[in-house]
Structure 1
């Protein structure tokens, strides 16, 4: 499925092909919450990084999150690069060098109509703040950290690959 998206001010627009366009994966980690703002979680999609086309790329900025080990206090920098519009601050997508063929646009910046998922996966729930209301659907999955099931596996299990 071709996904088209943009930042709020339209200084950055993009197109990317996705075999996994269902917005089902809700991440409650502090990095996703704080970089995407709003409702207490981020909804990340999966797409083919080799098909990513960008207009207004000169307006992009990249953030690599600071990560602190809760046990040791050691501070490192994330492999993941979060791309933002330098004009309006909209977080557009995440790319990680460990999976270079994938890019993860945020569902909220996709202008294309997305399909409605039959179930959702709530992940990193151990990091959800108390103020975030949580009402899972009947078939939703809930995980304290990352689930074993990948974006691709979820789509395959439900027969939803496009």
Structure 2
């Protein structure tokens, strides 16, 4: 590992370090991600579970085969995993210590993008999921 890929919640109680670079970066415009983050769009980075070392124990909420993790102390969004994508975890870009290192490579659920949100880029745009489930 040449440079660490690390993240932490706002209070620092929960942190993680990846031994390899993320395999996925994306924006997501779906309603679930908006509700979870409280933002008009979510940006995230995908890692393999086996590549992450956790410090602290995130809390989680599970519904519909998706587990969303957060810090039980400060409430920071950490990320999510989907039962249909075993062995993968998608961390919120804001959880990463250096989010500028992980620019999103595409837009998922573009069809659900809020009409006032305009992100001027030439990234691929998917009307639904960007990762096959």
Q: Could you say which TM-score interval applies, normalised by the shorter chain?
A: 0.7 to 0.9
Matched, 1:43 2:26: no
CA shift, 1:18, in A, is: 3.8
Q: TM-score, normalized by length of structure 2?
A: 0.82
Structure 2: runs of 5+ lacking an equivalent: none
Return the alpha-carbon distance in structure 1 between the equivalents of residues 20 and 100 of structure 2: 11
Q: Which has the greater radius of gyration? A: 1
Residue of 95, 112, 119 corresponding to 1:135: 119
Tell me the equivalent position of 1:29: 30
Map of 2:19 onto structure 1: 17
3-state DSSP class of the match of 1:33?
helix
> In 2 relative to 1, CA 51–143 (structure 1 residues): closer, same or farther, beyond 3 Å?
closer
Partners of 1:97 and 1:142 in 2: CA distance: 24
Aligned length: 131
Aligned-residue offset at 1:95: 1.5
Tell me the equivalent position of 2:70.
Answer: 84
Give the TM-score normalised by structure 1. Answer: 0.69
